[in-house]
Chain A
Amino acid sequence: MPVTFTFGEMLSARSVIGSTLAELGDEHENLWVLTPDIGATLVEFRDKYPQRFLDVGLAEQACVGIAAGLAYDGNIPVVSGMLPFLSMRALEQVRSDVCYPNLPVKIIGTHGGLVGNGGSTHYAVEDLALMCALTNMTVTSIGDPLMVGEIIRQSMTMQGPIYIRLAVGKKDRVLYEPGQHDVRIGKGIVAREGTDATIFTHGTVVAQALDAAEELAKDGHSVRVVDMFTLKPIDEELISRCAVETNGRFVVVEDHLAYGGLASRVADVVADRNIHLSAFERLGIPQVYAGFGDDEELRNKHGYGLEATIAATRRAIAAQS
């Protein structure tokens, strides 16, 4: 069943994953779905293609290794689970079994960032740094629930591995009208136009950045929001363009360690391309184990919530050229 939705509504990204995979199972007879004991939303695929569904139980390392074995044999395996475990417990399998031979294994999961209130064992906050470090890996972080389906679809024809990061994925704001943007892996999306500063972000924080831009517009500020959903390979051209078009004022906000994620990716491009900036504000998780609380409370506590984003953007706009 295709997912129906309305722009601006809340939608479960997980249900999009489930229905997309079930749909793709028809087109791709070599599509497998594997999970380490996660995935009520995979039921549709499991019921349609029991021969190509594998729940290994609690065994992330074997799960990724088995996916690699399937890929060696010409299959397209999708591994779905919780990202703190797929990105860390199975890191060596991801690196040596999947990335080293450049196999088309798709890793898709939830709990990217301080979400779900599980505590630090259950938050993936280092994952983008780890995944971006791996040769051959494409790294994405998706906020718009419908985009998840599109990215999975595009990933089917990719030669190598891809990492697809979601937050909790139970209830996410639909950000884009269908067809509003040309969604392509490796290309950032200008989610809102603006000329005074650019907020770069990814995942569910895009919604927060759009709210911040809306708030700043009331004071006459024109703030661009870039959904840099592909962290690797990063859209260097767009970063260069934003520097010119938004007066050299960058703000990066993300639900990931402030060092090692998107901010670091953007800073690398700024350094490598010798881009002149007047302001570079970096908001993300500091070097702490964050504790408990709901998503918004944790963002506010750790300095990358809505108010902090507005304040940082004001600082960037006010900075001397």
Chain B
Amino acid sequence: MGHMSLTTGGSPHTVEELKELAFELRSKLLHLCGTYEGAVHIGGDLSAADIFTALYHYGLDVDPTDIANPARDRFVLSKGHAAVCMYIAMAMRGFFPYEGIVDTYGQLDSAYGMHPCKVHLPGVECSTGSLGHGLPLAVGMALSARGRGELHRVFCLLGDGETGEGSVWEAAMAARSNELGNLVAFVDRNRQLMTSFAEERVVFEPYPDKWAAFGWNVVNVDGHDMADLVGAIDRLPEVDSKRPTVVICETVKGKGVDFMERNLAWHAGSLGAADLERAMAALEASRDKESV
């Protein structure tokens, strides 16, 4: 695989380094959630933090100093409410200063809003937010690459909840029909919607079979196991192959903060100063537990 060929300096990170970066991303997320007065979609940010880390620090062939390079991999955030997680991951990758996010998030005229906007924030590939819109956009970008004979990939991150939208499956069908092996979807399978758990009101299972039935190459990983995520990226089919790939990442909404994990109350919210301390302690504890 030719990832990181656009990177200015440095070889790909090791799994251990990536874990550290994911911890830093979660810490920064919690900090924002504790200092910003409005609600942050912290549950779905934390479930996707390892995926974002694996993509921005390992999988995506991008150069933060050359954001319009036609050979770059494209990344489409379909679950647009995880924008802040993407902003911070991008900042950590060098796209823009982290301070700009912390200082202006959600404020008047900020480039960093609840859902990403390409017009306001160059470097972001597209404007998203309404669920079910990202995969069709990614299909268009993958077709464009095919049309020009370019050999980059198009990555798209979806939430499992949003795959209730019919447009996702329209795009899934189009991707298979047009043999877009250069398209890779990651699904953050945190098994929670905003107001219910998966299977309570909406039956998703047999979930991988649904993608397989649409003709996709299906890879199942633990979305919090960095080695697993890196392995999935390493084993992606060739860019010029014919089947699109979906990496279904089993995750936990609120991952890393015990009182947020699998808690419907933490789809979105704001931590006060006291709760921020509590959340940071929980994050530290969860890391200690993992390293044992």
Contact = CB atoms under 8 A, between A and B. Distances in A.
Contacts of A96: 127, 129-130, 133
B264 interface: no
Contacts of A73: 74, 140-141, 144-145
Given A56-B170, A62-B170, A68 B143 contact: no
Given A72-B125, A97-B127, A101-B127, 5 more contacts: A59-B170, A65-B133, A65-B137, A67-B140, A69-B137
A71 B137 CA distance: 9
Name A's interface SS: helix
Interface in B225-278: none
A230 interface: no
Contacts of A56: 170, 173-174, 177
A70 B147 CA distance: 10
Contacts of B184: none
A62 B144 CA distance: 15
A93 B144 contact: no
A69 B170 contact: no
B137 A61 contact: no
Given A61-B166, A101-B119, A69 B144 contact: yes
Interface size class of A (residues with CB under 8 A): 20 to 34
Interface string A46-62: 00000110101101011
A73 B130 CA distance: 20
Given A51-B147, A52-B147, A61-B167, A72 B133 contact: no
Nearest to A62: B170
A142 to B, nearest CB: 26
B159 interface: no
Contacts of B146: 51
Contacts of B140: 65-73, 77
B130 A68 contact: no
Nearest to B168: A62
A216 B144 CA distance: 54
Contacts of B177: 56-57
Contacts of B118: 72, 101
Interface string B6-33: 0000000000000000000000000000
Count chain A CB atoms within 10 A of each CB in B74, B137, B146, B174 and give the residue with the most: B137
B129 A62 contact: no
B162 to A, nearest CB: 13
8 contacts: A32-B147, A62-B171, A65-B139, A66-B136, A69-B143, A75-B147, A92-B130, A97-B133
Contacts of A102: 119
Contacts of A77: 140
Contacts of A61: 132, 136, 166-167, 170
Contact of A65 (B74, B147, B167): B167
A100 interface: yes
Nearest to B125: A72
A8 interface: no
A73 to B, nearest CB: 4
A118 interface: no
A101 B129 CA distance: 12
A92 B165 CA distance: 13
A54 B136 contact: no
A69 B127 contact: no
A40 B177 CA distance: 20
A74 B72 CA distance: 14
Given A61-B170, A101-B119, A68 B144 contact: no
Nearest to A64: B136
B144 A54 contact: no
Contacts of B178: 54
